Homo-oligomer: A and B are copies of this chain.
Amino acid sequence: MSRTATLRRGTRAFVASATLLAVLVAAVLVPAAVRADEGMWTFDHLPLKQLQERYGFAPTPEWIEHVQKASINFGGGSGAFVSPDGLALTNHHVALSQLAKLSSPEHDYIRDGFFARSRSEELPCPDLELKVLMTSEDVTIRVLGAVDSASADSAQSDQRKAAMARIEQAASRDGLKGEVVELYRGGEYWLYRYKTYKDVRLVCAPEEQAASFGGDLDNFSFPRHDLDFAFFRVYEDGQPVRPQHWFRWSKDGAREGDLVFVSGNPGTTKRLYTVAQLDHERNLDLPLRIRLNQQRLAAYNAYAARGPEQARQARDRIRGLENNLKRQHGFLEALSDTAVMGMQRRAEAKLRQRIATNQAASGLAILTWERIAGAMKELGRRHTEYVTREFGRSSRLLDIANGIVRYTTEVAKPNERRFKEYRDTKLDSERFRLFSRAPVYPEMDEMILGVVLQQCRDELGADHPFVQLALGGRTPQEVARTLIAGTKLADPAVRKALVEGGAKAVAASKDPLIVWARKLDAPYRELRAWNEGRVQSVETLDGGRIARARFVLDGRALPPDATGSLRLSYGKVAGYPQLTTQVPWATTFHGLFDRSLGFSGKPPFDLPASIAGHEQDLDLNTPLNFVSTDDIIGGNSGSAVLNREGEYVGLVFDGNVQSYAWDYYYTEEQARCVSVHSRALTEALRKVYDMGALADEVEGR
């Protein structure tokens, strides 16, 4: 059978279960309170009462500050300081794009791993920027106070953004950078100030087969057997930083039943979505994204089949697409469960009724659900176009061209009126990215650009104005070939000259990719303005109203949806029931050998040679991966798992299939956070990778 069929069949088997229904009866119908170990909490509002009641644990302000400041935002992922010499630990799969950029036809660090045995061997990353949250402050009143609630939705949206830009600007001083975060889908605004780092060097990463043993099949699975880690060292002024806060290594690591915390940056959850938003996600958004991603994955696989060098270039793209497709299938199936959706509908009806019968709350949330449903209808009108045209980042050269055109256009405007990614506080990050020396692969760029343009033509039709403008009567493949063949943007000096020359230099450029990006800039702005003004503005305005009505009813009982910023989750190390038996809390190195042998050593279950060669050296009883009830989501990859003492006990790298549902609701029946055990890390460093000094460094020996 086909792989896709296997995935979908397998997933349905748990989503469609009456089990889940039973859980949801308990869970979704009690929206006013958190469920069990639910919550990706902001550090300024930790659930101290629940922690005390459930686990008898009361973190001190020092404990909280320490955990916050030792945690690192890896930009779409998470990590942590684990030594006084600036060692930063995250996942191999979070490091994957840097490993790809550091690799070359001569050095395939993804396939072979990378091991710096002295500081001088550490490899500077081309464009990895890390940040650490230093302070946070509630600025809801300042943001919302700047909004004239009598004005149109899109005007209110502009006013809100302008206020955020001003606050960020004012807060960016003393070596910190300000960033306003929107919590509770518009219910609250917080100013976060970050310390950022741009000199980050690769120290150690295992070979991919050890990092993701079992490949796409075992992704989102448990029991699991992966060494999904990578070490970086953070430098400042040419020297390793001496961070004020870093996590000490636990002697035992995670143990069954332990209370453990996850500190990291969960990306996006949709637990506060209205039914209309979930319906849109299920009916329109996920099916389209799955279709587009399947085609792109097939294209990358075909590209990889051209030869070993092409396979090397495409590897991180393929891994990323496989990962996204597996998640998206899981999301779609979770949302396709009629019982689940029935629960969501009843929960929403109950909330609306509670709000309607509460005088203070009802004034806050009039017609909000109808307005959000209206915004979803508006989004549906142009949804195919919106998603299909979102291809700018698929080709690296095109991404650079777009970046240059937008950067130079935006910086000419007043700070408050720019796209948020071009606010003054963000410009250095944007330049860091644009001028990256990471290698460019024109052959792969041409291939994928042809594919995404073909998708535009297929989805929108050859007569669509955007398609006509983009293709100018030629085939997608011709356009891609011409643009990529003619551009000089592979050279960072060329990019720099354009950015420094500003709008004038860009307007004068004859580089075909710049010319093409310029041509498509106006339609891009039109589409973005439509989406931000007609859809997102309503979602934020009315999402905020619902949130504030909830505050009136229940206070701040529910945690905000994840927003890619720092959160703390808590939970216990625990197995779970499945198919009439129990899944254990941990696997061991024994299990890795067992699973490989159980598939006769065939890929993706071939035993990494490094591990096979050290069977006699390894303590096979060492815990390898483990599960806990901590509430996590994509973006938490690389998060530190900590015990009560704030010691490092594990490294989050996944959730099991049952945790797909966590995008929409938390349940701890079977869903689990999956982590690499801290003891497996030091055991592998010492016994498999001859990196004893690194193990000593994290253990403080």
Contact B581 A590 (CB under 8 A): no
Task: Say whether A307 faces chain B, with CB atoms less than 8 Å apart.
Answer: no
Task: Say whether A12 faces chain B, with CB atoms less than 8 Å apart.
Answer: yes
Contact B6 A12 (CB under 8 A): no
Task: Say whether A657 faces chain B, with CB atoms less than 8 Å apart.
Answer: yes
A336 (CB) vs chain B CBs: closest residue: B18
Task: Say whether A591 faces chain B, with CB atoms less than 8 Å apart.
Answer: yes
Contact status of A579 and B657, CB under 8 A, knowing A17-B13, A590-B597: yes
Contact A10 B580 (CB under 8 A): yes
Contact A623 B599 (CB under 8 A): no
A580 CB to closest chain B CB, in angstroms? 4
A522 CB to closest chain B CB, in angstroms? 43
- Chain A contact residues: helix, strand, loop or mixed: mixed
Binds B, one of A111-119, A129-137, A217-225: A217-225
Identical chains bound together, number: 2
Task: Say whether A92 faces chain B, with CB atoms less than 8 Å apart.
Answer: no
A217 to B577, CA, bound (A): 10
Contact status of A579 and B14, CB under 8 A, knowing A585-B598, A588-B594, A597-B623: yes
Task: Say whether A24 faces chain B, with CB atoms less than 8 Å apart.
Answer: no
Task: Say whether A531 faces chain B, with CB atoms less than 8 Å apart.
Answer: no
Residues of B within 8 A of A11 (CB): 579-580
A580's partner among B7, B579, B587 (CB-CB below 8 A) is B7
Contact status of A620 and B590, CB under 8 A, knowing A13-B13, A18-B12, A584-B598: yes
A17 to B9, CA, bound (A): 9
Contact A10 B578 (CB under 8 A): yes
Residues of B within 8 A of A577 (CB): 1, 6, 9-10
Task: Say whether A595 faces chain B, with CB atoms less than 8 Å apart.
Answer: yes
A16's partner among B18, B587, B597 (CB-CB below 8 A) is B18
A605 (CB) vs chain B CBs: closest residue: B584
Residues of B within 8 A of A266 (CB): none
Residue of A6, A16, A605 with most chain B CB atoms under a 10 A cut-off? A16
Contact A581 B19 (CB under 8 A): no
Task: Say whether A50 faces chain B, with CB atoms less than 8 Å apart.
Answer: no
A378 CB to closest chain B CB, in angstroms? 33
Residues of B within 8 A of A599 (CB): 256, 575, 582, 584-585
Task: Say whether A326 faces chain B, with CB atoms less than 8 Å apart.
Answer: yes
A406 CB to closest chain B CB, in angstroms? 38
Q: How large is the interface on A (under 10, 10 to 19, 20 to 34, 35 or more residues)?
A: 35 or more
A661 to B13, CA, bound (A): 15
A1 to B330, CA, bound (A): 27
A117 CB to closest chain B CB, in angstroms? 31
A336 CB to closest chain B CB, in angstroms? 9
A603 CB to closest chain B CB, in angstroms? 12
Contact B593 A620 (CB under 8 A): yes
A654 CB to closest chain B CB, in angstroms? 12
Task: Say whether A600 faces chain B, with CB atoms less than 8 Å apart.
Answer: yes
Contact status of A218 and B581, CB under 8 A, knowing A590-B590, A591-B591, A623-B597: yes
Task: Say whether A508 faces chain B, with CB atoms less than 8 Å apart.
Answer: no
Residue of A19, A22, A256 with most chain B CB atoms under a 10 A cut-off? A19
Residues of B within 8 A of A326 (CB): 580
A627 (CB) vs chain B CBs: closest residue: B598
Contact B256 A600 (CB under 8 A): yes
Residues of B within 8 A of A214 (CB): 581
Residues of B within 8 A of A13 (CB): 13-14, 17-19, 578-579
Task: Say whether A621 faces chain B, with CB atoms less than 8 Å apart.
Answer: yes
A503 CB to closest chain B CB, in angstroms? 49
A580 to B17, CA, bound (A): 15
A595 (CB) vs chain B CBs: closest residue: B584
Residues of B within 8 A of A593 (CB): 588, 590, 620-621
Contact A591 B580 (CB under 8 A): no
Contact status of A594 and B598, CB under 8 A, knowing A9-B22, A579-B11, A579-B221: no
A349 to B582, CA, bound (A): 41
Contact A581 B221 (CB under 8 A): yes
**Would you list the 3 A-B pairs with minimal beta carbon distance, nearest first?**
A584-B598, A591-B594, A590-B594
Seed contacts A10-B581, A591-B591; 13 additional CB < 8 Å A-B pairs: A9-B22, A9-B577, A12-B18, A13-B14, A16-B18, A221-B580, A221-B581, A255-B600, A256-B600, A584-B595, A584-B598, A585-B598, A588-B593
A sample of 11 cross-chain residue pairs with beta-carbon separation below 8 angstroms, ordered by A number, consists of A12-B18, A13-B19, A217-B581, A223-B598, A326-B580, A575-B598, A584-B595, A584-B597, A590-B591, A590-B597, A591-B598
